């Protein structure tokens, strides 16, 4: 993109390895560490790269961006705001994994590109990252770039399997952006610390990169109403300030002496509402861990059950509410149904649904494209089984029974009837 006159900046956001400058054979004088320390601004640490790109170098081992102080966050926001004014594309190279820094940069970007390969670990890592991203907010446009494959056909096959899994289990629609060929020249270029499109412009991988640049320009030009990259970090700072204020307020509330004794009634019994009030106060102000608190509530529920012989809530209603709140997750509901069926079988020594129920369930729910063929296969299976057991044709007996129980119809006279009785056996 830089060779076509676009202003491109590469932001190295991998604070664990910080290897962009190594791959390009550049030794930075200053890094993002100097910016966060307030020693340099963004223009001071920018490094010129090949073909006119600019690079923001990271520093290995600095704290994650999610752990920055208020002053450091402000420095980062101001400098990113100044940076994005001068470039057409700001490409952020994040670390692998699902830590908070990666999540924040992905959410801040206008679109994310998942670089995946055919290795199962690569596919599962990408799937895990998307799952974590969606659990917090909409990840926005997601593009897939398939790395180290032999040809387009292989990349398309990998993408289809990955996209189908993401669409089925995460309800996220991804887009195919392209592929990078498994070219030995890439490894040689890494060793030589030169980009392959400069070192070997005619290599297969170089042609893939040129095609990738076309895809980025074509797809990203369609994005409209884009917010600035710094706006996300400004919102993050505001959220951090609100959390700090809430913690400060909670700390002040916890400094107040808790009411450890409860007012008693005339019969020396504590008021129930006072107990509830004290429990609520402890929940909101104490630092009790969630699992410890959950175990305590389980004990209370068990005591209620022992005393009254029932739960303090309707479990069926609560389960349905939970499923509704989660938009009725198919996999979770299937697991619950399977557990109920197993429990019913173990306790009652018979399945929840008998064979007839299973067949009726199959017939009523099978509406796919191959439903008719499956119906025919089921009818054939029933016919063969009936014949082996009773040495008679099930379909003929069903047809005869249907004819005997049906009231004779009166057809118009004067011309021969064109109707012909066709038995089920004739059809099959």
Q: What average pLDDT does this structure show over 374-389?
A: 76
Beta bridge partners of 175: 143
pLDDT tens per residue, range 301-311 = 888 888 888 88
Give how far Cα 127 sits from Cα of 159, 163, 341, Å: 12, 10, 31
pLDDT of residue 231: 72
Provide mean pLDDT across the span 388-398.
79
| Residues 145 and 177: beta-carbon distance below 8 Å | yes
C-beta separation of 428 from 379 below 8 A: yes
Note the pTM of the prediction, 2 decimals: 0.56
Q: Which of 85, 84, 79, 83 is nearest to 38 (CA)?
A: 79
CB 196 within 8 A of CB 205: yes
Say how far residue 219 (Cα) sits from the centre of its chain. 22
Question: Is the pLDDT reported for residue 135 higher than 70?
Answer: yes
Angle 242-243-246 from CA coordinates, rounded to 5° = 85
More confident residue, 424 or 69: 69
pLDDT at residue 424, rounded to an integer: 41
Instruction: Output the pLDDT for position 426.
Output: 46
CA atoms within 13 A on the CB side of 107: 22
Q: Looking at domain 2-236, what is its CATH homologous superfamily?
A: P-loop containing nucleotide triphosphate hydrolases (3.40.50.300)
Query: How confident is the model at residue 35, as a pLDDT?
Result: 87
Provide DSSP, 398-414. Answer: HHHHHHHHSPPPPPPPS
Contact 8, 48 (CB under 8 A): no
User: Which structure tokens are listed for 113?
Assistant: 């590109």
| pLDDT tens-digit series, residues 193-217 | 999 999 899 999 999 999 999 988 8
Q: What pLDDT shows up at residue 244?
A: 65
pLDDT interval class at 165 (50, 70, 90): very high
The number of C-alpha atoms within 13 Å of 114 and in the hemisphere containing its C-beta is 32
Query: With bands split at pLDDT 50, 70 and 90, how would you rate the model's confidence at 164?
Result: very high
Q: Could you read off the pLDDT of 73-90 as tens digits, one per residue?
A: 778 778 888 888 888 898
Helices 100-108 and 120-136, packing angle to 10 deg: 70
Q: How far apart are CA 54 and CA 90, in angstroms?
A: 10
The residue behind tokens 């005393």 is 307
* Cα dihedral 390→393→399→405 (10° resolution): -20
């Amino acid at each position: 993109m830089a060779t076509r006159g676009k202003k491109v900046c590469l932001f190295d956001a991998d604070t664990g390895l910080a290897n962009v400058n190594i791959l390009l054979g550049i030794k930075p004088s200053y890094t993002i560490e100097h910016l966060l320390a307030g020693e340099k601004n963004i223009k001071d640490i920018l490094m010129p790269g090949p073909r006119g790109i600019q690079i923001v170098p990271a520093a290995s081992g600095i704290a994650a961006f999610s752990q920055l102080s208020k002053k450091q966050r402000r420095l980062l926001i101001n400098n990113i705001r100044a940076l994005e004014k001068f470039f057409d594309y700001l490409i952020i190279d994040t670390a692998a994994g699902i830590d908070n820094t990666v999540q924040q940069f992905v959410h801040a970007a206008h679109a994310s590109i998942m670089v995946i390969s055919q290795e199962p670990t690569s596919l599962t890592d990408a799937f895990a990252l998307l799952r974590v991203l969606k659990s917090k907010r909409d990840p926005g446009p997601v593009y897939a770039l398939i790395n180290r494959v032999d040809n387009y056909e292989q990349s398309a096959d990998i993408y289809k399997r990955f996209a189908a899994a993401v669409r089925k289990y995460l309800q996220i629609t991804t887009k195919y952006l392209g592929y990078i060929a498994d070219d030995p020249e890439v490894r040689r270029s890494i060793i030589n610390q030169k980009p392959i499109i400069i070192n070997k412009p005619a290599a297969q991988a170089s042609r893939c990169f040129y095609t990738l640049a076309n895809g980025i320009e074509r797809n990203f030009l369609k994005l409209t109403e884009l917010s600035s990259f710094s706006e996300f970090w400004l919102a993050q700072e505001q959220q951090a300030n609100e959390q700090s204020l809430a913690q400060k307020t909670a700390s002040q509330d916890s400094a107040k002496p808790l009411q450890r004794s409860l007012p008693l009634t005339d019969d020396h019994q504590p008021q129930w509402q006072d107990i509830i009030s004290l429990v609520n106060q402890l929940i909101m102000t104490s630092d009790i861990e969630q699992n410890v608190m959950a175990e305590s509530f389980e004990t209370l529920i068990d005591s209620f059950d022992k005393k009254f012989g029932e739960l303090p809530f309707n479990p069926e209603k609560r389960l349905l509410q939970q499923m509704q709140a989660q938009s009725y997750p198919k996999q979770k509901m299937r697991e619950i149904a399977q557990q109920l069926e197993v429990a019913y079988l173990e306790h009652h020594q018979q399945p929840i649904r008998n064979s007839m129920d299973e067949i009726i369930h199959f017939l009523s729910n099978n509406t796919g494209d191959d439903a008719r063929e499956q119906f025919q296969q089921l009818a054939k299976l029933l016919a063969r089984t009936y014949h082996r057991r009773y040495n008679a044709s099930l379909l003929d007996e069903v047809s005869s029974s249907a004819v005997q129980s049906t009231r004779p119809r009166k057809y118009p006279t004067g011309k021969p009837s064109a109707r012909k009785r066709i038995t089920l056996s004739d059809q099959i």
